[in-house]
């Protein structure tokens, strides 16, 4: 291990270098750009033997990565916000083709109005695309998730693309100490590239041809089966990584103070660290509260969360995105997922906050959690859906 001080974006680039990718294609967009700038530096200096493809748009970036991947290359790209929306057609195409690809999403609010600050809307907009979706809390996890993404994506039980989310600026441009594992050990662990088929011109292939409805449905069902199978793979990879490199996170979720908690908070991303601070303050005051941090949105960890909250008095889900006309995406996924295991849910509250990059502090979380628990202890249920707007 080597300790380096890295921004979240540089942690992604470091992990991609460790994975020894063959092809990088990308188009610059704030706040993602410094990932591919750093990768270009690695390629130019000879630290990474890879081909950098300069393209005219994000749509072309993922198309180029897809072409490289089906030809047998380990390939990577990254984007944010409007760029992700622009490549959306290819996001679906890659997963339908069942080809391993890794992409980093440095989150940023979707315009208009024009906004460069982060929330989770661009990332969570991809929930139905057939990609495995992970999200980091800090820069160490950014690096570790990115390395693991290649292992998961290329597992024969999966063969699905993987995207890693991190908040723009909050993680992307903030420097933190990061333990970087030995390059040779990472290369040995990842092994050679694996994929279900290769199109290299040696024999005729047809990709993306017209299919009958029944065949199309069967292919889509296979994606769902692979997504479910990936739950086992994610846990295995997390365990293996922990044994080899000294860090494991818990698989699909990470828990803080969950074992004896009566009230549970559910969150995703960097602000989970602020929630942990608020939980410690509340614990000192006698509030039995714990945090369930979602590390993988797809496959969604409903069973894993149910095992924790089945006897909970209440669950508060903090969402940094909203499905307009409904509620927060994490909340909706969780409520729907829990109904597979029980008809009697605990009181569940959804709090939307931090949209468009509005700063939410540990004091805000402390206040919202405390007020919710105090009301419930008095027999009064707060509104199930709340939009918390903080000014200044």
| pTM for the predicted model, two decimal places | 0.97
Q: Give pLDDT, residue 297.
A: 98
In CATH terms, are 2-245 and 253-387 the same topology? yes
What is the C-alpha end-to-end distance of the chain, expressed in Å?
A: 41
Give domain limits for the chain: 2-245, 253-387
159 in Cβ contact with 196 (< 8 Å): yes
CA 19/CA 178 separation, integer angstroms: 16
Q: What is the pLDDT of residue 1?
A: 81
Q: Are 341 and 307 in contact (CB under 8 A)?
A: no
- φ/ψ (deg, to 5) at 75: -130, 155
pLDDT at residue 201 in the model: 86
**Residue 295 CB: number of other CB atoms within 10 A?**
24
| Intervals of the chain under pLDDT 70 | 392
Comparing C-alpha atoms, which of 129, 57, 132, 56 is closest to residue 93?
129
> What does the block give as tokens for 255?
């828990």
Residue 392 has a pLDDT of 59
Nearest to 234 by CA among 254, 215, 220: 254
Q: Are 165 and 123 in contact (CB under 8 A)?
A: yes
Q: What is the rounded distance in angstroms from the CA atom of residue 219 to the CA atom of residue 97?
A: 9
The two structure tokens encoding residue 323:
């499905």
Q: Which residues contact 384 (CB under 8 A, 6 or more apart)?
A: 348, 349, 350
pLDDT of residue 209: 87
Q: Which CATH number fits domain 253-387: 3.40.50.920, 3.20.20.140, 3.30.1360.10, 1.10.10.10?
A: 3.40.50.920
Tokens of 337: 């997922």
2-245: CATH, from 3.40.50.970, 3.40.50.2300, 2.60.40.10, 3.40.50.720:
3.40.50.970
| Secondary structure element (H or E) that encloses residue 349, with its range | strand 347-352
Q: Residue 104's beta-bridge partner residues?
A: 78, 164
Dump pLDDT digits (tens) for 321-336.
999 999 999 999 999 9
Contact status, residue 68 vs residue 46, Cβ threshold 8 Å: no
Instruction: Tell me the three state secondary structure of residue 85.
Output: helix
């Amino acid at each position: 291990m080597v300790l380096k001080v890295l921004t979240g974006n540089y942690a992604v680039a470091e992990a991609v270098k460790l994975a020894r990718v063959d092809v990088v294609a990308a188009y610059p967009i704030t706040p993602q750009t410094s990932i591919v700038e750093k990768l270009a530096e690695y390629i130019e200096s000879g630290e990474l033997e890879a081909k950098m493809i300069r393209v005219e748009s994000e749509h072309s970036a993922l198309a180029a990565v897809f072409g490289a991947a089906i030809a047998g290359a380990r390939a990577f790209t990254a984007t944010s916000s409007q760029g992700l929306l622009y490549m959306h057609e290819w996001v679906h195409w890659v997963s339908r083709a069942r080809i391993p690809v890794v992409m980093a999403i440095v989150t940023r609010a979707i315009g208009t109005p024009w906004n460069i600050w982060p929330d989770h809307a661009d990332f969570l907009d991809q929930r139905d695309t057939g990609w495995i979706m992970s999200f980091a809390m800090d820069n160490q996890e950014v690096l570790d998730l990115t390395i693991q993404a290649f292992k998961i994506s290329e597992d024969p039980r999966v063969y699905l693309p993987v995207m890693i989310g991190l908040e723009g600026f909050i993680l992307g441009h903030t420097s933190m100490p990061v333990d970087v594992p030995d390059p040779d050990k990472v290369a040995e662990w990842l092994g050679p590239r694996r994929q279900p088929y290769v199109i290299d011109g040696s024999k005729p292939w047809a990709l993306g041809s017209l299919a009958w409805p029944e065949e199309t449905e069967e292919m889509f069902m296979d994606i769902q089966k692979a997504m479910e199978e990936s739950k086992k793979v994610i846990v295995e990879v997390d365990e293996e990584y922990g044994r080899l490199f000294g860090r494991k996170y818990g698989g699909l979720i990470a828990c803080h103070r969950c074992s004896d908690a009566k009230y549970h908070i559910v969150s995703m991303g960097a602000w989970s660290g602020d929630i942990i601070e608020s939980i410690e303050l509340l614990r000192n005051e006698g509030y039995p509260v714990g945090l369930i941090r979602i590390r993988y949105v797809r496959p969604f960890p409903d069973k894993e969360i149910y095992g924790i909250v089945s006897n909970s008095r209440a669950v508060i889900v903090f969402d940094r995105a909203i499905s307009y006309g409904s509620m927060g995406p994490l909340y909706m996924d969780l409520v729907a997922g829990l109904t597979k295991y029980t008809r009697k849910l605990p009181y569940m509250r959804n709090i939307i906050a931090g949209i468009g990059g509005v700063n939410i502090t540990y004091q805000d979380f402390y206040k919202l959690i405390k007020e919710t628990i105090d009301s419930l202890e008095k027999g009064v249920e707060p509104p199930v859906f709340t939009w918390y707007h903080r000014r200044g």
